[in-house]
Structure 1
Amino acid sequence: MNQHHPIVPREKLDFGLEGDIPKYWFGGHPFKTRYFDAMSTIFPEGERFFISCVRDFRDQVTDPVLREEIKHFIRQEGQHGIVHSQYNERLKAQGIDVDRLEGIQRGLIEWMRKYLPKKHTLASTAAAEHMTSIMAHSFFARKDVMANVDPRMRAMYAWHAMEEIEHKAVAFDVMQKIAKVWYPRRVVAMVEVTLGFTINSLLTTRHMLKVDGFSRLQRAKLWAQGLWWLYKPGGLFTSMFSQYIHYYKPGFHPWQQGQMDSYQLWLNTFNQTGDAILAGEVLHAAAA
């Protein structure tokens, strides 16, 4: 099992989100930008959900190391929600009904918290954490993925990605060691999270492109390009399938999958300079 990195909450970071970031900051491409924007609308409510689900079992944890990791996990996830909420204010100014989108998600989460067993919502959290950690690898291990992204947005997603890698095993360890979730529930939760994330992100992207005023024909062309980008051989998501499918192995643990070699470069740069944007650029430059 690979040695994991310390979980370090980083607060009050400045990504220049109030600056002149282009509307279509992902290489000028509407679909790619709006797909990532759709993910940003998911994060604030999602992070609060993850925190709540881990907190459900925190009082049962006696291992001081895991208790400390839970504390830092909660702080990191809280910061992710804060920063993405700041960015989502930009989306509101562009006419995106972020409040409605978050309200829909909040209603689903409230339903899950009310009617599903706490073990199941924790399993959903562990599944989502696996997905975000492998997305972190996919987005920043290959230089071509983020090549044409505005440096401020690249830095925000780089910071989020590096912290997801740092705490990728916390919810899983609570699920396995404390909640004692059995394997079938773990598998079902991952299937649910995969389908839910896919449907939510694509429907939100669809909403945003309609708000942007693209005609039906224009949207059809954007969707054809976008779905090919996501799901073609070697695409954004298909390239991470081998990492994703490992979760379904009975003996899986997140630290069986190694770290990005460039993680240490990001960490060293950030620690030495305190500049999250510079750290993001160093991470991108080191990608293959």
Structure 2
Amino acid sequence: MRIGIIGAGMAGLSCAHALRSQGHHPVLFDKGRGPGGRMSTRRVDTPLGEAAFDHGAQYLTARDPAFVAQVERWAQDRHVARWSPAGPDAWVGTPAMNAPIRAMAAECDVRWNTAIAGLCHDGGWRIGDERFDAAIVAVPAEQVAPLVADHDGALADAARAAVSDPCWTVMAAFDGPVPTDCDRFADIGIIGSAVRNSAKPGRTGPEAWVLQASAGWSRAHIEDEPDMIARALLAAFADHIGALSPTIIATSVHRWRYAKTGTSARGAFWNAEIRLGACGDWLLGPRIEAAWLSGQQLAAFVGPAR
């Protein structure tokens, strides 16, 4: 089958790879300019050179045997490396968090800069200007329901019930090392995570930190101005460290409206009658591993080409 997949993040790309191995022909559509999604890396010019920030997912874990094997293949290709500050089973993309996504996307037919606002079913599926035998949505739960509500009410209801937590993220580059021996802090007041991004394997450039607000604080301040967010998180970080003696040479702020997803615990969804499917971490659990496994599970539901 020729299968259209909306969303070229971890779940969509995982599903596409599995479908290709089963003899199908997946085509992915993504509104982004390139690979990344919630595994994106932002690069910011500073007086000391370019600073890089993994401003979405900070690391991934591998526990399921199938995903462990996939991560080991990425490691052999130098797309990931272990990162002990997050635990013995933690990995990060190298030289940036989006490296595994880039590697997966390079082997697929992906239409970047292509936002899909709706699906049309008339025996087959029309996505944009193209026709497909089947359609798959691999986007955050909040974006699923508007796409599928006219075609599968149960899937739309499940997506509406899986509410994601937002996350405000502040990226800051400094002209010298921040005075702490720790490269990662978790749950320090309004900050859910603080990571010295420049200390991750394969990173270059000036001292760079990623500060991610807690879900509750992000939700309470979701419509605040980015400048206020930056001041609040940097002040909280300074209070925890004791002082930020290096000078901040660049900052950037990003609002993730759909950061840590809720879950319906279904794994994946496949309506064989109309050939409509869904995969993503919201169907299994809020981890990169879950997104990959969900894509694999959906491909198994679709089955091999006949």
TM-score of the aligned structures, taking structure 2 as reference length: 0.26
Larger-Rg structure: 2
* Larger RCO, structures 1/2 (Cα 8 Å, 6+ apart): 1
Q: When you count strand as a share of all residues, which structure comes out higher? A: 2
Q: When you count helix as a share of all residues, which structure comes out higher? A: 1
TM-score of the aligned structures, taking structure 1 as reference length: 0.27
